[in-house]
Structure 1
């Protein structure tokens, strides 16, 4: 029987769990200091990581254990049954595992678009919505900004909602009054309540919603008219969004393809402006 490294076993234990950044810091400490952790109390571990003791308990229960003592017992078993690793190997395996998880997400996305009809049709619908609203709050804001910035080059009226609450309500109402029919919403873990509220408000106003999220089985899937899943990498302290960004690029391409003459005219106008104003260096 081939022994499995402690890092691989810990990564397997952590993989796919919906952990907060603080909880991931605990997981990271476990990976780097496992031999020490098996002799620590929850108070000791909390002090070393720089979190509260209840955070350690919540971390253990998030992994499916009854509490920290049960987790520590499992960690002892990992230490006894694993091969040794140098600190350099631990760090390399951690980074390699994160990249491998992203590769798996991209492969899943590739399977999703193997039959491109849904993406093509979604692009056609979004191209016809003027204005087009884009929503992304908190950690999802980066993907929404990328999508909106790109879409503005090929679409005549793109309105980004990057702030929740009444500010989001104002943008949604004004866009709807101006003729908007669709909203593209990026909603990645951890799912912001204010983003869900904005989506529900959009639906109340009569918007159709194209939702880009990490899992087709999310509890709010029923709020979407079109749901396009793209997995997130959860191996690091913060989620990485490689697959959602690629999906955003594919959707931009579908919008461009749906209105080729408009796309070409707008791109040429932007290139002319860029050259005249010297936006970019050669």
Structure 2
């Protein structure tokens, strides 16, 4: 797929610009020089803004992206964002949010960004990987769900609903002892779902690497093929997550987690109906709900 190739190639973007430099036009060389010095800024510039800053036309910017092998400037911009998003500090992210001038603008931009992220996720997620992940969850001896820092809320959501459907679902919690102690009995019959978004937790990668070495099947729910957990996962479900400010959107991650739960649930339809029937009787008996 062209998009996957462009994502992978972004890892070598800087060296690619350097190697292509001698063959670029005069205007394209100006763009290249500016990007090499300011790629963190260019990652959030429109083609028009980059052209104005460098002193070339917008069409020259587009041709520059094409010369590097990208189908358009947005793909080049995405590649630049892939390079920097895990390196930005929270303070730098706050400084990026200069377009959020008032509450109305914030509400509008954030919701539109979430919509775009879900749409992008739908276009990019690997349906075969999703199907395999669903089947692996269904047949696992035990499921371990890992998400650290802000990713923990997605892990908790996924674990809560999978636990209703399946037996032996364990959410790895940082307040329940060391993470390694919680997965020490993991085996090749087990599955780990690793949820990881920038800034990527080093501990998450270490725990997943240990699980992989023990033979467990690893499903990663993350935003990039460059994410550390993706490099060792058996199935990677890519979730679009553009950087709007100091808070990363987890909305698409919840959507994919929701889809996984429903996919597994539909394969266990009859068992679920009985389980919910039992739960309804308990809820009624103990007045759980109004």
Same fold (TM over 0.5): yes
Identify which of 132, 137, 142 aligns with 1:121: 132
Provide the rounded CA distance (Å) in 2 between the counterparts of 1:157 and 1:278. 27
Note the alpha carbon deviations across 1:236-277, whole angstroms, 9 max, x for none.
321120000000000111111232233222222222222222
The correspondence of residues 188-199 of structure 1 with structure 2, limited to 5 A, is 188-199=197-208
Matching residue within 168, 171, 196 for 1:160: 171
Rounded to whole Å, the distance in 2 between the matches of 1:138 and 1:267 is 32
Q: 1:98 touches 1:236 (CA, 8 Å); kept in 2?
A: no
Alignment CA distance shift 1:231-1:162 (3 Å): farther
Q: Give runs of aligned pairs for residues 176-255 of structure 1, distance below 5 A.
A: 176=187, 180-255=189-264
Query: 2:141 is paired with a residue of what secondary structure?
Result: coil
Which secondary structure does the structure 2 equivalent of 1:206 belong to?
coil
Distance change (3 Å), C-alpha of 1:165 and 1:206: farther
Give the number of the structure with larger relative contact order, counting CA–CA contacts within 8 Å between residues 6 or more apart. 1
Aligned twin of 2:276: 267
> In structure 2, do the counterparts of structure 1 residues 107 and 192 end up closer, same or farther at CA, with 3 Å as the change threshold?
same
Among 108, 120, 130, which residue is 1:96 paired with? 108
Instruction: Tell me, in whole angstroms, the C-alpha distance in 1 between the residues paired with 2:249 and 2:141.
Output: 31
Contact 1:131 1:159 survives alignment (8 Å):
yes
Does residue 137 of the first structure (1) align with residue 206 of the second (2)? Answer: no
The TM-score, its normalising length taken from structure 1, stands at 0.67
Q: Secondary structure of 2:165's match? A: coil
Q: CA deviation at 1:189?
A: 1.0
Q: Is residue 2:90 matched to residue 1:21?
A: yes
CA shift in 2, pair 1:165/1:187, >3 Å: farther
CA RMSD, aligned part only?
Answer: 2.9
- Tell me, yes or no, if the aligned pair for 2:194 and 2:229 is still in contact at 8 Å: no
Distance in 2 (CA, whole Å) between partners of 1:31 and 1:11 is 15
| Structure 1 residue 124 displacement after superposition | 1.5
Residues 192 and 217, structure 2, Cα contact 8 Å, conserved in 1: yes
Equivalent pair of 1:10/1:31 in contact (CA under 8 Å): no
CA distance in 1, matches of 2:274, 2:215: 31
Partners of 2:221 and 2:123 lie apart in 1 by 16
User: Aligned pairs, how many?
Assistant: 213
- State how far apart, in whole Å, the 2-side matches of 1:273 and 1:165 are: 28
Deviation at 1:188, TM superposition (A): 1.0
Determine which of 182, 185, 204 is the counterpart of 1:174: 185
Q: Find the aligned partners of 1:218 and 1:23 in 2 and give their Cα distance.
A: 20
Distance in 1 between residues matched to 2:272 and 2:278, nearest whole Å: 10
Q: Which region of structure 1 is more displaced relative to structure 2, 189-198 or 102-111?
A: 102-111
Decide whether the 8 Å contact of 1:182 with 1:207 is kept in 2: yes
